[in-house]
Chains A and B, each alone.
Chain A
């Protein structure tokens, strides 16, 4: 015990000499000493958010515009609902916000390697829950949405099934499974990525496309005469955040309370509206998000 704290003091001295660049090293050292995420955030006075680019959750505004929803971190203007939430959390904790650029594929490993303190929009599957943890409270519920030409009846899975609609979807996703289960007579056209799928719809090769409600809403803003709906009955999953597995529950508890408050108070809806409006989506025509 005595030995360890001495090592800690020595490392602290190194940080003072080397300066800001050593921040990451000190966080790693803190983790090795068994510091919990909550202790690390307070000791380093920094909240590190994983920043995989994904609209409307987290993206860079290269125009540095001053439209609502901008969060300046260093020289970069960030936007998106996760960024707005994390800024609110960091302010409440009295610490600075740091964005760690990464990908969803690196989410599990990045948390385990203590590269960041939370990652939004990673689904809490059983397999992931074996190695990392998830905040049990979502910021909103998200579901499978369908985008089609305005006037097509996509209000229910039954209507989609009856029309045997030809739907483009991203291969290997929840949307593919959902559509197969809920509208088994629909004809499916599978795409490797979102952009190919959107191009196929614009070229008239598919009658509709499927994605998450947020993704389809953004796509709709770029496609004239298109409409988006979550067909009823919707299958809803909580959009939440992944965190490290910690024995100290304080970080998890803080996020559980905060997510509930930010969802119920309308903060999340406003942040989402800002991110949509920035891309030209007419927010007055959107279905409000489902909180629970």
Chain B
């Protein structure tokens, strides 16, 4: 970095007077490499790695079950990891995992700590400062988990039954249920784990979160059932990237996500992640790709 600065100062010195300031500007712009250029020059694709099953997690048992991706000494699993591995191989670069949290997603992209983060919703507020791939790798929706036998097929049935539902506070699920089943009684929880504990203790009749998360929870709770009630509210599960003029990284991801979604790659990767946690995948609704 020091050398580059010195070099651009030298170039500026060759030009006389006021125009020197103008000339140093493009020199500085050349130093601001786009994500696409950075990936090729460093031969590295840096993926944000906030732990969230089934998209991304560490396999501490180092098992050889399908879906594992070894990066350095760590064995990673999850559909987002499988997608990134596929991308890195197509680009001919190596995959690097940057451990972080969803809360650091926006700042981390802006500070050039990683090149993409999956599972961050593209809200207008975020889209003002970072960018999002317009098509998802699949569509995800609000799901309900209840005791087997409960009628959670439709929002209408849930509304009519005035179901008591636990929800994580401040989430899309909370807003969705309030709009689609206004007569349901909501019990708000600070964390997903508290919510699950309340269901297991029988303090709420049902709980709500994303389909993927509820499917994993269901595998740990006997006699439970998971549904995306009709009509489903679907959002693209996509990736956040830096906001930049060079569109090549964005375009590459847009084409790739469509292909991986349509070809069944994402479904297979998701099935591997579920199967690793003992979910009976033959009973699952398939993911919605479009």
Q: Which residues of A contact B (CB under 8 A)?
A: 123-130, 133-134, 136, 174, 181, 235-238, 245, 247, 249, 252, 292
Contact = CB atoms under 8 A, between A and B. Distances in A.
A247 B248 contact: yes
The binding surface of chain B is classed by DSSP as helix
A292 B290 contact: yes
B262 A236 contact: yes
A134 B254 CA distance: 9
Contact of B251 (A123, A236, A237, A252): A252
Given A236-B262, A247-B248, A252-B251, A126 B256 contact: yes
Interface of B: 86-87, 90-92, 134-135, 245-248, 251-252, 254-256, 258-260, 262-264, 290
Contacts of B260: 126
Contact of A126 (B87, B245, B248): B87
Nearest to B40: A130
Given A126-B90, A129-B251, A129-B252, 19 more contacts: A124-B255, A126-B86, A126-B255, A126-B256, A126-B259, A128-B255, A129-B90, A129-B259, A130-B90, A130-B252, A134-B251, A136-B258, A236-B262, A237-B263, A238-B262, A247-B246, A247-B247, A249-B247, A292-B290
A245 B264 CA distance: 26
A123 to B, nearest CB: 7
B246 A235 contact: no
The binding surface of chain A is classed by DSSP as mixed
A235 B86 CA distance: 21
Most A Cβ at <10 Å: residue of B92, B260, B264: B264
A126 B90 CA distance: 6
A235 B245 contact: no
Given A245-B248, A247-B248, A134 B255 contact: yes
Contacts of A134: 251, 255
A286 B252 CA distance: 35
Given A126-B90, A249-B247, A133 B262 contact: no
B246 A245 contact: no
Contacts of A174: 263
Contacts of B247: 247, 249, 252
A133 B90 contact: no
A77 B176 CA distance: 56
Contact of A245 (B251, B254, B290): B251
A133 B245 contact: no
24 contacts: A126-B87, A126-B255, A126-B259, A126-B260, A128-B255, A129-B90, A129-B251, A129-B259, A130-B90, A130-B252, A133-B252, A134-B251, A136-B134, A136-B254, A136-B255, A136-B258, A181-B264, A235-B264, A236-B262, A237-B263, A238-B262, A245-B248, A247-B247, A252-B251
A15 to B, nearest CB: 31
B133 to A, nearest CB: 10
Contacts of B135: 136
Given A129-B252, A130-B252, A237 B262 contact: yes
Given A245-B251, A247-B245, A124 B134 contact: no
A227 to B, nearest CB: 26
A128 B254 CA distance: 12
B32 to A, nearest CB: 14
A181 B263 CA distance: 11
Given A130-B91, A235-B264, A292-B290, A125 B251 contact: no
Given A235-B264, A249-B247, A129 B256 contact: yes
Contact of A238 (B251, B252, B256, B258): B258
B173 to A, nearest CB: 27
B122 to A, nearest CB: 15
A123 B245 CA distance: 26
